[in-house]
Amino acid sequence: MRITNNMLVKDMLWNANNNLVNMANRQTELSTGKKIHRPSDDPVGITQVLKYKTDIRETEQYNKNITDALGWLEVSESSLTNIKDILQRVRELTVQAANGTNTAEDTQKIKTEVEELTNEILVAGNATSAGRYLFAGLETNKRLFNPDGTFNIDLTSERRDLKHVVAYEVSVGEVMTIGTHPVDLFGVVSSNSFFEGLLTRGTTQTTKATQTVLKANVNLNYDFTADVLDIGIGGNTYNVDETLLENTPMNPMTKQRFVDAIKSATFGATPLSDVADVFFDLNDQLVVQAKAYGAATTITDLTASAGFTGVTVTPGVNGSTSTLTGTGIITDAAVAAETGTHTLVLQLDDKRVKIDIDFSTLTTANDLQVALQTQLDSQFSPAGTINATAVNGGTLNFTVNAINDGNAHTFSMDYVVAQRSEMVTDLQNLIAALNTKDDAVLQASLGKMDLHLDRVLVAMGEIGGKSNRVEFIKARVEENEITFTSLLSKVQDVDMAEAIMYFKNLENIYRASLSVGSKVIQPSLVDFIR
């Protein structure tokens, strides 16, 4: 085999370039500290890198959640400690007030202090953490108490029974509730809602309305200029200008031309495009689809052309009507006997409204139906979207009528069961008793204060237990983060000592290759001139 000087030079250059590439790779590793920069560097390793990075990001987010949860628990504990101290002070004052030796002036001073302490209870009940109210359940954007001591939130049967509170995901698949529900802390004074026993909270959903669709086969090689192409929509006939459908070798028919001609068909001054969508589907069939939903809009093939063959007409379907049926029997006597105001909470999709019914003006079930319907029509437009029915000896029902807009609609119903807190009510009753020096109420208040203190102590114990658990979880999550970081480092990070050694070795090899190259390259005329 004959070896030429060109072959030697090419091999030398190829090897020198390879040495440079290897040096560049090592230099990249040294400058970045990473040995995997792209999937091709290590296809198996890159999957591990991505997984470990995902795990690290998860643990970082869990750490943030845990920090937020601990902050929530700390502020809650502080507020509960304040409430406990206030109740203890109120109890002491109540014992003092029950002493028969107090003068009227002494009792008045005690009353004034209890009033201030009650206001402080309201402040503690409206405590916040990072702008979110601690004791309002899931309505963290609303304060719990109004200035008069009534609830600012809608304490419905669902919120009373299910007691949903704020929760955080603190580890993989581990969600921890950290909120304190107002019912557990402050208690409730049941308003004996008129709707209790007549209604059960529930949710129902209507089905979607559909559009009428006509499908037809169209022969695009046909000349439609001498035929009739008419389409009936909603009882109106839309006439197509057939001159737009001339099909000649110089002006062949296309799908777009045909669609444009159908869209421009008119009924009076109204183009068909205003009432229907026209297009060719994936099966090359012409589709005329009504824009309006429901069965009221019909589509009829009125064409008389061999090039246009109707295939199917699928009528539109109205959205369903759905009803939430009452669970108890309503009577005229029950309506007439009720004199208070009771509140329903109704929600249609994202719109949630309260409906207050003043029974002092009602005497029959029909009166109740009229009062409900008046407010339903004012809250949910258009009027008649939701209908209420109430007859003597029947159930109280709410019906969502068919809404033909192509969407499913969700309707839910509940009722408010309480407006006042038991703790605040007892404190206000105590203030009234101090004003009249009612010894019987004062004595009874001692037991009630003990009951409220027990509730607060139970809540404090739960918060303390949750705080301890979250601390343990925090330590575990932080340890996991260190572990995942270590595993990532083993897969991705460069051993700097080893990399420097390899780099110096490659540098020596490259210098040797240059030295060899100087022997391989033959002298040129320039060398002799020098």
**CA–CA separation, 367 vs 332, rounded Å?**
9
Q: Give the per-residue pLDDT at 13.
A: 67
Q: Give the per-residue pLDDT at 119.
A: 95
Q: Decide which of 420, 443, 463 is a domain's last residue.
A: 420
- Token pair, residue 232, equals 């009936």
**CA–CA separation, 347 vs 340, rounded Å?**
23
Tell me, yes or no, whether 50 lies in a domain.
no
Q: Does 277 lie in the same domain as 246?
A: yes
465 Cα distance to chain centroid: 30
Q: Does 411 lie in the same domain as 351?
A: yes
Tell me, yes or no, whether 131 lies in a domain.
yes
Tell me, yes or no, whether 197 lies in a domain.
no
Q: How confident is the model at residue 102 (pLDDT cuts 50, 70, 90)?
A: confident
User: Is residue 315's pLDDT more than 90?
Assistant: yes
Q: Please compute the mean of the pLDDT values over residues 311-319 and round it to a whole number.
A: 95
Domain of residue 451: give its range. Answer: 57-187+424-480
List, for residues 166-189, the tens digit of each pLDDT value: 999 998 888 999 999 999 999 998
Tell me, yes or no, whether 520 lies in a domain.
no
User: Is residue 190's pLDDT more than 90?
Assistant: no
User: Is residue 530's pLDDT more than 60?
Assistant: no
For residue 344, which of 407, 388, 404, 314 has the smallest C-alpha distance?
Answer: 388
**% of the chain with per-residue pLDDT over 70:** 88
Q: Is the peptide bond before 182 cis (omega within 30 degrees of 0)?
A: no
Q: How confident is the model at residue 495 (pLDDT cuts 50, 70, 90)?
A: low
User: Is residue 259's pLDDT more than 80?
Assistant: yes
List, for residues 15-70, the tens digit of each pLDDT value: 667 766 676 676 666 666 677 767 776 787 788 878 888 888 999 999 999 999 99
Q: Give the per-residue pLDDT at 271.
A: 96
Q: Does 69 lie in the same domain as 173?
A: yes
Q: Give the per-residue pLDDT at 34.
A: 74
Question: What's the count of helices (H) and strands (E) in the chain, helices before strands?
Answer: 12, 22
Q: Give the per-residue pLDDT at 413.
A: 94
Q: Give the per-residue pLDDT at 106.
A: 86
Q: How confident is the model at residue 516 (pLDDT cuts 50, 70, 90)?
A: low
How many structural domains are present in the chain?
3
Tell me, yes or no, whether 6 lies in a domain.
no
Q: Please compute the mean of the pLDDT values over residues 83-95 and round it to a whole number.
A: 94
CATH number, domain with residue 72: 1.20.1330.10
Tell me, yes or no, whether 256 lies in a domain.
yes
Q: Give the per-residue pLDDT at 105.
A: 87
Q: Does 413 lie in the same domain as 386?
A: yes
Instruction: Specify the higher pLDDT residue, 118 or 519.
Output: 118
> What string of H, E and C letters represents the secondary structure of 267-318?
ECCEEHHHCEEEEECCCCCEEEEECCCCCCCCEEECCECCCEEEEEEECCCC
Q: Please compute the mean of the pLDDT values over residues 379-407 and round it to a whole number.
A: 94
Phi, psi of 312 (to 5 degrees): -145, 155
User: Is residue 464's pLDDT more than 60?
Assistant: yes
Residue 523 in 3-state DSSP? coil
CATH number, domain with residue 365: 2.60.40
Q: Please compute the mean of the pLDDT values over residues 280-307 and round it to a whole number.
A: 94
**% of the chain with per-residue pLDDT over 90:** 65
Instruction: Specify the higher pLDDT residue, 515 or 66.
Output: 66
Q: Give the per-residue pLDDT at 376.
A: 95
User: Is residue 86's pLDDT more than 90?
Assistant: yes
> What string of H, E and C letters represents the secondary structure of 22-51?
HHHHHHHHHHHCECCCCHHHCHHHHHHHHH
Q: How confident is the model at residue 248 (pLDDT cuts 50, 70, 90)?
A: confident
Q: Does 474 lie in the same domain as 372?
A: no
For residue 183, which of 421, 343, 427 has the smallest C-alpha distance?
Answer: 421
User: Is residue 12's pLDDT more than 70?
Assistant: no
Q: What is the DSSP letter of 385?
A: S
Q: Please compute the mean of the pLDDT values over residues 475-488 and round it to a whole number.
A: 88
**CA–CA separation, 134 vs 114, rounded Å?**
24
Q: What is the DSSP letter of 394?
A: B
Tell me, yes or no, whether 29 lies in a domain.
no
Q: Please compute the mean of the pLDDT values over residues 69-82 and round it to a whole number.
A: 94
Tell me, yes or no, whether 267 lies in a domain.
yes
